Structure 1
Amino acid sequence: MRKFNFLFLIIGVLQLISCRTDELIPRTETEEVTPSEKNSIKGFYLLNEGNMGSNKCTLDYFDYESGVYHRNIYAEINPEVVKELGDVGNDIKIYGSKMYVVVNVSNKIEVLDAKTAKRIKTIPLQNCRYLTFKDGKAYASSYSGPVVLDPNAPIGKVVEIDTLSLSIQREVTVGYQPEELEIVGNKLYVANSGGYRFPNYDDIVSEVDLNTFKETKKIKVAINLHRLANDNYGDLYVSSRGDYYSVPSSLFLVDPVSGKVKKDFGVAVSEMTIVNDKLYYYGNEFNYNTHSYTKSFGIIDVKTEEIISNKIIDQEYVDAIKTPYGIAVNPITEDIYITDARNYVSTGFVYCFDKNGKFKWKTEAGNIPAHFAFLYK
Structure 2
Amino acid sequence: MKKYLLSFAVLLMGAALFTACNDDNDGPYYPFPVVVSDGAYVICGGNMGSSINGSLTYIDYATQTAAQNQFMSKNGRSLGMTVNDAIIYGNKMYIAVTNENTIEVVDAKTLESIKQIKTTDLMGVERGVSPRHLTASEGKVYFSTYGSSVSDFGTGTSGGNGYVAVLDTVTLGLASTYIAGRYPEGVAVANGHLYVANSDYGMLNEPSISVIDLKTGIDSPIKSDKIVNPMTVAVAGSDIYVLDMGNYSTVMGGLRLIPNRMGSETTTLFDCTHVGFAGTNIYAVNSVYGTNPTEFFSYNILTGEKTTYQVGLDRFFNPNVIAADPATGKIYIASYNENPSRPGKAGYAVNGYVAEYSPSGELLNTYDCGVGPNAIVFNAYWK
TM-score by length of 2: 0.79
Tell me the residue number matched to 1:168. Answer: 174
Whether the 8 Å CA contact 1:127–1:147 is kept in 2: the answer is: no
Q: Distance in 2 between matches of 1:355 and 1:253?
A: 24
Residues 30-45 of structure 1 mapped to structure 2, 5 A cutoff: 40-45=36-41
Tell me the residue number matched to 2:196. Answer: 190
Q: For each residue in 1:214-270, what CA deviation from the matched residue of structure 2 results, as whole angstroms up to 9, or x when unmatched?
A: 324434351111121223x33221122111122221221113444553532241x32
Whether the 8 Å CA contact 1:50–1:58 is kept in 2: the answer is: yes
Q: What secondary structure is seen at the aligned counterpart in 2 of 1:286?
A: helix
Tell me the residue number matched to 2:137. Answer: 134
Q: Distance in 2 between matches of 1:169 and 1:48?
A: 28
Q: What secondary structure is seen at the aligned counterpart in 1 of 2:100?
A: coil
Tell me the residue number matched to 1:35. Answer: none
Residues 1-377 of structure 1 mapped to structure 2, 5 A cutoff: 40-53=36-49, 54-79=51-76, 81=77, 84-125=78-119, 126-145=129-148, 149=152, 151-195=157-201, 198=203, 200-220=204-224, 221-231=226-236, 233-267=237-271, 269-286=272-289, 295-304=294-303, 306=304, 308-309=306-307, 311-314=308-311, 316=312, 318-342=313-337, 343=346, 344-377=348-381
Whether the 8 Å CA contact 2:158–2:200 is kept in 1: the answer is: no
Whether the 8 Å CA contact 2:95–2:105 is kept in 1: the answer is: yes
Amino acid at match of 1:72: N
Q: Distance in 2 between matches of 1:336 and 1:160?
A: 30
Select between 177-186 and 222-231 the one with higher mean Cα deviation: 222-231
Whether the 8 Å CA contact 1:286–1:294 is kept in 2: the answer is: no
Whether the 8 Å CA contact 1:143–1:154 is kept in 2: the answer is: no
CA gap of 1:149–1:167, structure 2 versus 1, over 3 A, is farther
Q: Distance in 2 between matches of 1:303 and 1:260?
A: 22
Whether the 8 Å CA contact 2:292–2:319 is kept in 1: the answer is: no
Q: What secondary structure is seen at the aligned counterpart in 1 of 2:222?
A: strand
Select between 202-211 and 150-159 the one with higher mean Cα deviation: 150-159
Whether the 8 Å CA contact 2:255–2:268 is kept in 1: the answer is: yes
Q: Which runs of 4+ in 1 moved over 6 A?
A: none
Bigger CA radius of gyration: 1
CA gap of 1:217–1:195, structure 2 versus 1, over 3 A, is closer
Whether the 8 Å CA contact 1:278–1:301 is kept in 2: the answer is: yes
CA gap of 1:77–1:147, structure 2 versus 1, over 3 A, is farther
Q: What are the ranges of 5 or more consecutive residues in structure 1 without an aligned counterpart?
A: 1-38
Amino acid at match of 1:158: V
Give the share of equivalent positions with the same residue, in percent: 28
CA gap of 1:183–1:352, structure 2 versus 1, over 3 A, is same
Tell me the residue number matched to 2:32. Answer: none
CA gap of 1:204–1:189, structure 2 versus 1, over 3 A, is same
Whether the 8 Å CA contact 2:91–2:108 is kept in 1: the answer is: yes
CA gap of 1:294–1:349, structure 2 versus 1, over 3 A, is closer
Q: Distance in 1 between matches of 2:52 and 2:171?
A: 28
Residue 116 of structure 1: how far off its partner (Å): 0.6
Q: Distance in 2 between matches of 1:360 and 1:313?
A: 14
Whether the 8 Å CA contact 1:298–1:307 is kept in 2: the answer is: no
Residue 131 of structure 1: how far off its partner (Å): 0.6
Q: For each residue in 1:146-177, what CA deviation from the matched residue of structure 2 results, as whole angstroms up to 9, or x when unmatched?
A: 88646244211111111111122321212111
Q: What secondary structure is seen at the aligned counterpart in 1 of 2:314?
A: helix
Amino acid at match of 2:244: S
If asked which structure has higher relative contact order (CA below 8 Å, sep 6+), I would say 2
Q: Distance in 2 between matches of 1:90 and 1:256?
A: 30
Amino acid at match of 1:319: D
**TM-align CA RMSD:** 2.2
Q: What secondary structure is seen at the aligned counterpart in 2 of 1:158?
A: strand
Q: What are the ranges of 5 or more consecutive residues in structure 2 without an aligned counterpart?
A: 1-34, 120-128, 338-345
TM-score by length of 1: 0.80
Whether the 8 Å CA contact 1:195–1:201 is kept in 2: the answer is: no
CA gap of 1:188–1:219, structure 2 versus 1, over 3 A, is farther
Q: What secondary structure is seen at the aligned counterpart in 1 of 2:73?
A: helix
Q: Distance in 2 between matches of 1:244 and 1:95?
A: 35
Whether the 8 Å CA contact 1:91–1:101 is kept in 2: the answer is: yes
Q: Distance in 1 between matches of 2:276 and 2:53?
A: 25
Residue 293 of structure 1: how far off its partner (Å): 6.8
Amino acid at match of 1:51: N
Residue 334 of structure 1: how far off its partner (Å): 1.2
